[in-house]
Amino acid sequence: MTTTLKSRLQADLTAAIKARDELRSSTLRLTITAVTKEEVAGESARELSDAEVEKIVAREAKKRREAAEAFEKGGRAAQADRERAEGEVLAEYLPKPLTDDELNALVADAVREAAAGGAEGPRAMGAVMKIVNPKIAGRAEGGRVAAAVKRQLAGG
């Protein structure tokens, strides 16, 4: 039994191939390969959960963003555009990113929760991150979350 996200990726790949959509088909093919590679890594082959497949898609999307930035800095706009377009294809398979307001609200709740547990001030960073990370799960990048936590712990 394949995961719903993995089977959706495969169904969309088939559709993209039939539609001769080269960008979408090559992006999905690379992502499915990354999923398959993860499934056979380790002691024995196993079926990945939707959450694990989502993490792989997020990792692939992050690679595209970083590559686009690198190509942009290197003056290779065409390659940067291609990487960004591939990232947009992958974004369709990820949860909608949190807005700044949504992120700040979640962080504020976590800061209150940590304070109730006795963790306050800048040293509470680890405690707050432990509370907030599971709630955010892939909907905001770690650096963005850490910056929001630091801001709120500093009283800003």
pLDDT one-digit tens code per residue, 6-21? 999 999 999 999 999 9
pLDDT at 1: 47
For residue 134, count CB atoms less than 10 angstroms from its CB and return exposed for 0-12, middle for 13-18, buried for 19 or more. Answer: exposed
On the question of pLDDT at 139 being above 80, the answer is no
Per-residue pLDDT reduced to its tens digit, 60-107: 998 999 999 999 999 999 999 999 999 999 988 888 888 888 888 888
Encode 110-149 in three state secondary structure. Answer: HHHHHHHCCCCCHHHHHHHHHHHHHHHCCCCCHHHHHHHH
Nearest Cα neighbor of 35 from 15, 65, 7, 62 is: 7
Nearest Cα neighbor of 63 from 42, 41, 34, 36 is: 34
Report which of residues 20 and 118 the model is more confident about: 20
Domains plus CATH for the chain? 3-90 (1.10.1510.10), 98-152 (1.10.10.410)
Average pLDDT over residues 43-60: 86
Look up the pTM and report it: 0.70
User: ∠ at Cα 143 (62, 118), nearest 5°?
Assistant: 140
For 103, which DSSP code? H
